[in-house]
Structure 1
Amino acid sequence: MASVSYSEELTCSVCLTIFTDPVNLPCGHSFCRQCISEVLATQQHCPVCGTAVALEAANLPTSIVLKSLAEKAKAKPDKGKQPTAELAAVCPEHEEKLKLFCITDQQLVCIICRDDEEHEGHQFKPVKEAAASLRKQLEMFEQCTADDIHAVESLADAQKDEMFKTRERSQQLLTRISKQFEEMHQFLKRRENEIKRELKHKEEDNVDKMRETFQATAVALSESRELKEKVSSVLKITESESFLKSWTEGKRKGALKHLFRPRVNELQVVDSSLSLGPYESHLQFFMWKEMLQVIQPRAELLRLKSNSQDVVVSDDGRSLFCRPKTHQAFGTGFGMQHDSFFGAPPSHSFGTATYYSSNPSGTKATEDLESASSVSEFGAGQHYWEIEVGSRNYWELGVIHNLLKYDGVKYTCCGPNVTTELEFRNRPKKIGVYFNFSSKELSFYDADTMTHIHSVSAVFVTTPVSAQINIQHKQPDHSPVTVCWY
């Protein structure tokens, strides 16, 4: 134990090594001259007790005793290390070996510490046993950490792959967009050239007819002027016999009447008949209609089927309207299994059965709902259709469990356990519905302006999927909902 105290007394509290040129401050604490010089350069007090120091470090006398002891300690390095090692395993308070580990406080203690009031009721283990237990825990933690690192690395790799896929997908879409726009540009350019050529041909045909008339007028004008000059020349002859002879010589009988016929009656200005018909005023509309024949894919040409006895589908399968009820109607709200979706004439909003499934008490509107769905079903890919909703005061459009609803007052988008009220500046007349099977995203659009209305995640939709329409029964029904065909 003496060696431990001996080593402590020879240690500078600033550099924590054995003294080099030790000096004593007036307060009694000792330091290396270099160490205390650096301290006193920034503060004029002892770094241990805080006592003010007026002297400079250079004026402090060297402690001969400490210097001698320090030199002896440095001269025996092998023995000098032993107290340091022992110091690490000795209780600083009781100078006993640290043979126990306090599990409660998570610290090394000696036997005397174990019996102190400070550790009363604590759990203890021998150092080796505690070290073995901790080592086992750390080894397990190391393995868990390694597994976690591997899992996180896998996530990072997966995220990197998704980033690459996103960039690759974006590039594919850019290429597809460029190709589709190029096809439209080529179509429009080809039609532009064709219409321009047609216009040029009509221009040439009209000008040719006008040129013929113009040449005829030039000939008639020349002949009339020549005749006028001849008549003027004959009129200057005063002698009657010479006058008559000059005029009648070489002229056949009856030629005089033909000669003096009004030439203007034989001529007529050819008016411009240049016209391109509807291309003059409705060029863009006609081009749009023509482009529909070459655009792929187009809106789905849905045909409807009735799911209720009180609704009728038109012969072409496009329109849905109500007929007089023959029995008590029952609700087909969002909780019902509606298979399809269809369009309607000019209208305003979207309805959803889910909205009413959350209202089990029901309303008059839900009690009078009639249902229809598309004959065709979709199991993959991307699909778009348009419904003209007309002047109906209630309708629901979409797919099973995900509907856009209009109740005459507000628009609501409904899905399983989710209802979102929507606001519109204008009342949509046609509703476009887009469903992407890969992303399970259902989107609604104002089909007249192609303005996005709302999108929902249709993750609960199962395949196959059909378009669905719910309408409120009305009689007479003069405004059927209609699937738009292009």
Structure 2
Amino acid sequence: MEKLQELQNEIICAICRGYFSEPVTITCGHSFCRACLSWSWRVGPTAFSCPECRQVPQVRELPVVNDCLAQLTDLSRELCSLLLQSAEGQRQCVRHKKALKLFCEDDQIPICVRCSQSPEHGAHKLSPVEEAAHNCKKKLQHLWNHVGKHLEEAQKLLTQEERSAVDWDWVITGEYNRLHHFLMEEESQCLERMRQEERARQDRLSQHMQTLQDLMQELQEAGHQPNVELLQEVKQLLGRSGSVLSQRAKAIIPELREYHIPGMIEMLSHFKVDITMVPTSVSPFLTVSEDKKSVKAREGWKLETKHPEDTVCHYVFAEQAFSSGRQYWEVDVTQLPQWILGIHTPYLRRKRGRNVDSCTSTFLLCCVKKEEDYYLQTHPGSLDHRVKGPVLRVGVYLEHNPGTLVFYNVLQRTLIYRFYPILFTAPVTPIFCPGPPLPGIKSGPMTLCPVDSHLCACCYSRL
């Protein structure tokens, strides 16, 4: 058997591990199938090198078929087949203990002569094992060549993809650099507008102060005039005083600035979370819908304090609490003249020098209507600004670390206010308050917008 194994090794191709087919021998002395060597030289790591010893022959062309080796292969293959058939206990039928000399093409199994005479294989197509094995190896060789061609095609496609990836990497990087440049220009222009508006506001305040000083001077001088002269000018003086004082609100009360940040709302949409409200409210003045997506104020609720943070019993909490990551949700407040949105956390660390205090905290954005004007206020915080009109949809962005809470006017695509930094040490829960309602004004629900909602052209027609 050892000699048989040595003989087989001499007629087997080192590439396909099968008997030689059109064997060729290169200058280093190693032999291969002609098709195997051709394929190896096309896709190998080193062009024209020997697949076995890696030597590069001087003549870089496929050699002619080695006829002697081809004849030796045929003779050796037949000899090996005969030796295998005559080997003790080699390939015997389990049922009849006879040599497996036939191959059933229908069942694709080798059988003995007695099996071929049984009704089980009587009508089947049979062939000698040697012939069946030879045909099978030809099929395998053909399949191997076919797979090799596919591998070669895949290698070419991979090379093309690698070149394409390098090109796209350069293109995409350039586009992001262009976007960064555009955003930097927008930032610069926005900051310049802020400075101009700040200077304009300071100029208005200075002019208003000068007008008040002139009015005070005029009133003081009028008080020292003779009675008749005073009475003759008092009508104009009182009218002028009323006009000056009526300008106080425009001059003193700040108006919330609107600064559009391109692409911010679209970017935040990647962090949208599905939020639902706790269905059972602790307040008798609030009703949560069956789908837990909206809350509405009941009749009988009246504002009894000027500080919204003191009306915590009239809040509805979200069922979800967040202790990490980034979250974004939007709330429709179109049908509400007054509302409160924010977050609640059980414990908050506040640094005071070297000491750290723990307390229960809420961070709120409140909309308050006074006469015909709307005001946005924060608690805590310094925001108490008039807005041009009601805010219809509010976006809330929460980032646990670093602690950040930001409110956006979604339809206007503008920033309202940002709390930062907040040192959260416990889960954060969104809270909602659809009120308090105003006398004589019918309020609707405060509704959580669906996660998959998108603004369309009709949304902007309402602005």
* TM-score when normalising by structure 1: 0.30
Output the TM-score relative to the length of structure 2: 0.31
